[in-house]
Structure 1
Amino acid sequence: MEKQRTFYNKRNLAIDMMRALTMLIMIFVNDFWKIHDVPHYLEHAAYGEDFMGLADVIFPCFLFSVGLSIPYAIEIRYTKGYGSLSTIKHILSRTFALLIMGVFIGNSEARLAVDAPYSIASYWVLMVIAFVAVWNDYSKVTNHSIQGLIPIFKIIGVFLLLYLAISFKGADGSIFSSNWGILGMIGFAYFFCATVYLLFRENAKYLWYIGFTLILIAILKTPLNSDFGGTSILDLPKGNFIDGFIGLFHIGNAVLTAFTMGGVLFSISLAKMENLSKSKQWFYILACGVISLVIGYICHHYWIVSKISATLPWLFYVLCISLLTYTLMDVLTHYNLTGWFKWIKPAGTSTLTTYCVPYLYYAASSLTLITLPDQLTSGLPGLINCFLFAILVIWTAGFFEKINIKLRL
């Protein structure tokens, strides 16, 4: 275990690069809502469609990178002298923050009723201000006067969130609800995988058992394609004990959690392969990628490829893509071909801030009524528009980091 801690004490630049690249593309595809004539291969597949576009790949790749980072984060805490109880509290606090942020962002996606007490732009601005007030990294604040105000900032942030939640009124008349959003789904997957890693970090074989169990749940609970009846293998009546037990962990059919668990298991494997040459490491990783691709192809005979339905072919195809992406980042790191990374580095080091910044720009656009001409929101010009927006968002997060505004859980 001591050797493993030494491995995790070293920063893995390939993970930062993978996370930054994933976040760049996530912001890019999330901005498609404001343009039209987007090529289908870049978009999300429709419900029931046997297809996987670029937008269907990004979120699970990010879940995989979350899992990659879990052993690093926990082992570094032990190296610094933190105990198990402190680490459990840390996992719970991070999960809680992700769920809270996720539910506020998730509720805003349905927009607001015309008689809501504020506009959607005001909601987004107040939401981000509250997030920063409560979860900003204040560790670099050296001014004693400002340090004394930090508890007040946090209290103001909490009351802002309470106000938004209580006064919220959706476009369909709905009240604030448990729409967890992307961050909430990340939070549930993170909590499960971080907890089981903490429990079984000394006995890695149990982590593999848990990983295989998640896949077994996915096999049993994911509806088959129409040729095989269109229902899951374990199609039990609603309210059954098994679904209720699985529901306690908020893992659904376990596919999303399996992405994060896959990252954890891959991270453990990297530690085991530390003494191998880079060429051998890359060979084994690529071999695993090919195996994942083959399993995905076999699964595709029984399930469609679908992000919305979280199917097994989607799981294994994206695991293959994640492994190949990490390998590429590791090759670039090994040969010191990382100059490009500085342009998107904040997306890898201030990831949560980067995720929230677009809402400030969307709010500014809504408040100022500034819109681009139709020629810049269609086809290739529209895609360039979305890509430049993603770069702008990342650079803005970098600027915020320089002035000590950085969300840290």
Structure 2
Amino acid sequence: MTTISADTADSAVAPPTPLELPAARVASVDVLRGLTIFLMVFVNDLGDGSPAWMRHIHPPDADGMTLADVVFPMFLFIVGVSIPLAFERAREAGIPLPARLWHIATRTASLLLMGVMTEEYQQETTLGPRTWGLLGFTALLLAWCSLPREPGTRRKVFAWLKGIGIAGLVVLLAIYRQKPSSTSLAFYGRVENWTWMRAGWWGILGLIGWSYLAASLIVLLVGRRREWLMGAMALCMTMHLAMNHGGLFSHVDSKAWLAPARGAIDLVANVVNAVGDYASLGDSFGSLAAVVMAGVLLGSILRRDSDVATPRDRVSWAATFAAGLFLAGLLTDNFEGINKIAATPTWCFWCTAIACATWILLYVIIDVARFRAWAHLFAFAGANPLVAYFLHPILTFLLGIVGLGVVHSYTGSSDPNVAVAGSLAMAATVCALTGLLSRLGLRVRL
């Protein structure tokens, strides 16, 4: 048998593509994640000249949704699908519970930091939004890049790059300044003339972080029983309805028979209110967490020890689940209608049903029929989603800085064909570059 040294492996052996991984891995999950990233780049890149049904609905409080409004919950759904699969690998590896909790906490904190940075770079005044954003997003990718397992030159190079990313991130955060403004910090109180980051919300990645935290803790608590997971999903949606229709425990005073438990209820209410100072309970721990839990339910049938093991059973189960989600959305429409900004139940349920139905189609094509060649572009982005996510703004910043902003001028075109074609090309470029960077060894893991 011929052996390959570590240094030779660094230069001669490329990592397998996501579709070349062992058959036990459900490749359609990576492809669905990559397709979602592709759509995310596409809709975020669209200009005003593109068709209205592709862009976020206008006005923002309208009762309805467009293609752009479906993308975010699809990503939340995929986050949920990955949770039981990751927990299965952790259990097989013998990772103890404290270590798993620490991983969940650090991943959540990382997403919160990334979420705030992606929102607040636009207010930076020291270097300017474009330069600070370019350096900041690049530093994020390098700081969280995974080192190659094999010792050798490539591992040393990425160790240096990781160190540069961490140091650069610290410096960029230290020099960050906004225009002075009075603000209130939940953990400190009123601050006058505050000039550092003061995000009004956690950003898209931050919302993913909070929802991931809620779903992960629920899965650790209730285990793998799908009826319990289903109940937890329903409770998350109930939390949203409670917080948006009077608040939690708002009618306790009228229930005299609850007087003996009033102390415990008040304690829970105080904890809930304290958490609510930092995250939206109705959204992050409510309806958005319910979307992640829906993904957890689908992911539970993809585990190697699942009783839903054959392709026929998986398709049948997922199709029934998608139909149930659509029905749930129809039944809850009377409460708040369909709206992304408000994270309404119907919007969540229907987008989740679309995500589930899309997975069924991909599963049949990719994992059952094994027609995979067409999907490599999406699979690479799906296996390395944070690289693709940050690569889009990095590219647009670079084009502007080097004087090639005209390349991105299609976003200002009034011709819908030009606007759509340009954004499709941008999304394809981002996914292709993500694949190239993955082959070179840049992989970001939280």
- TM score, norm. by length of structure 2: 0.78
> Do structure 1's residue 177 and structure 2's residue 171 form an aligned pair?
no
**Structure 2 stretches lacking a partner, 5+ long:** 1-21, 182-194, 252-265
- Could you list the per-position Cα deviations for residues 245-303 of structure 1 after superposition, in whole angstroms to 9, with x for gaps in the alignment? 66278353111111111111222244586456433432332222222212212222232
CA change 1:36–1:203 in 2 (3 A) is closer
SS in 1 for 2:335: coil
1:365-398, Cα deviation, whole Å (9 max, x unpaired)? 2212322456973312111100110110111111
Counterpart AA for 1:368: V
In structure 2, the partner of 1:255 is 287
Give the structure 2 partner of residue 290 of structure 1.
Answer: 323
State the alpha-carbon separation in 2 of the partners of residues 134 and 344 from structure 1: 24
- The worse-fitting range, judged by mean Cα deviation, of 124-133 and 136-145 is 136-145
Q: Residue 227 of structure 1 corresponds to which residue in structure 2?
A: none
Residue 340 of structure 2 corresponds to residue 307 of structure 1: yes
What amino acid is the match of 1:371? V
Aligned ranges 1:40-59 → 2 under 5 Å: 40-45=52-57, 46-59=59-72
1:326 matched to 2:349? The reply is: no
Quote the Cα distance in structure 2 between the aligned partners of 1:200 and 1:96.
23
Match of 2:406, SS? coil
Matches of 1:26 and 1:220 in 2, distance apart?
31
Give the number of aligned pairs: 386
CA drift at 1:202: 5.5
Deviations 1:162-221 (CA, angstroms, capped at 9, x unpaired): 332232234787631244211111111112212222233255554333222112112222
CA contact (8 A) 1:222 1:311 kept: no
Label 1:248 to 1:141 Cα distance change in 2 as closer, same or farther (>3 A). farther
CA distance in 1, matches of 2:440, 2:154: 17
Instruction: Determine helix, strand or coil for the equivalent of 1:41.
Output: coil
Q: How is 1:315-394 mapped onto 2 (pairs within 5 angstroms)?
A: 315-333=348-366, 334-369=368-403, 370-372=405-407, 377-378=413-414, 379-394=416-431
Task: Pick closer, same or farther for the CA change 1:374–1:145 going to 2, 3 Å.
Answer: closer
Q: Which residue type is aligned with residue 310 of structure 1?
A: A
Partner of 2:91: 78
Query: Residue 111 of structure 2 contacts residue 208 of structure 2 at CA under 8 Å; is this kept in 1?
Result: yes
Task: Summarize deviations over 1:323-360 as a string: whole Å, max 9, x none.
Answer: 10111111112112222111222111111111111122
Q: Deviations over 1:87-117 (max 9, x none)?
A: 2222222222212222211212xx246xx22
Of 158, 164, 172, 1:164 maps to 172
Q: 1:128 to 1:245 in 2, by over 3 A?
A: closer
Task: Measure, in 2, the Cα distance between the counterparts of 1:360 and 1:185.
Answer: 22
Three-state SS of the structure 2 residue aligned to 1:38 is coil
Aligned to 1:97: 110
Distance 2:348 2:226 in 1: 22
Q: Which has the larger radius of gyration?
A: 2
Aligned CA distance change for structure 1 residues 251 and 270 (closer, same or farther; 3 Å):
farther
State how far apart, in whole Å, the 2-side matches of 1:348 and 1:56 are.
19
Letter in structure 2 aligned against 1:175: W
- Aligned equivalent of 1:5: none
Equivalent-residue separation in structure 1 for 2:157 and 2:433 (angstroms): 27
Check if 1:60 corresponds to 2:73: yes
Is contact 1:47–1:309 with CA below 8 Å preserved after alignment?
A: no
- Distance in 1 (CA, whole Å) between partners of 2:411 and 2:94 is 57
Counterpart in the other structure of 1:10: 24
Contact 2:176–2:197 (CA<8 Å) still a contact in 1?
yes
- Match for residue 435 of structure 2? 398
Residue identity matched to 2:281? G
- The one-letter code of the counterpart of 1:262 is A
Note if contact 1:17-1:345 (Cα within 8 Å) is conserved in structure 2: yes
Correspondent of 1:19 among 19, 33, 50: 33
- Mapped to 1, the partners of 2:411 and 2:207 lie a distance apart of 36
Contact 2:301 2:309 in 1 (8 A): no
Any stretches of 5+ residues in structure 1 without a counterpart?
1-7, 224-230
Answer whether contact 2:48 2:412 (CA < 8 A) is retained: no
Fraction of identical pairs, as percent? 23
Summarize deviations over 1:101-150 as a string: whole Å, max 9, x none: 22211212xx246xx22132321222133223321111246336963983
Q: Distance in 2 between matches of 1:255 and 1:215?
A: 5
| Higher mean C-alpha displacement, 156-165 vs 318-327 | 156-165
Q: Which among 135, 142, 158 is matched to residue 144 of structure 2?
A: 135
The equivalent of 1:226 in structure 2 is: none
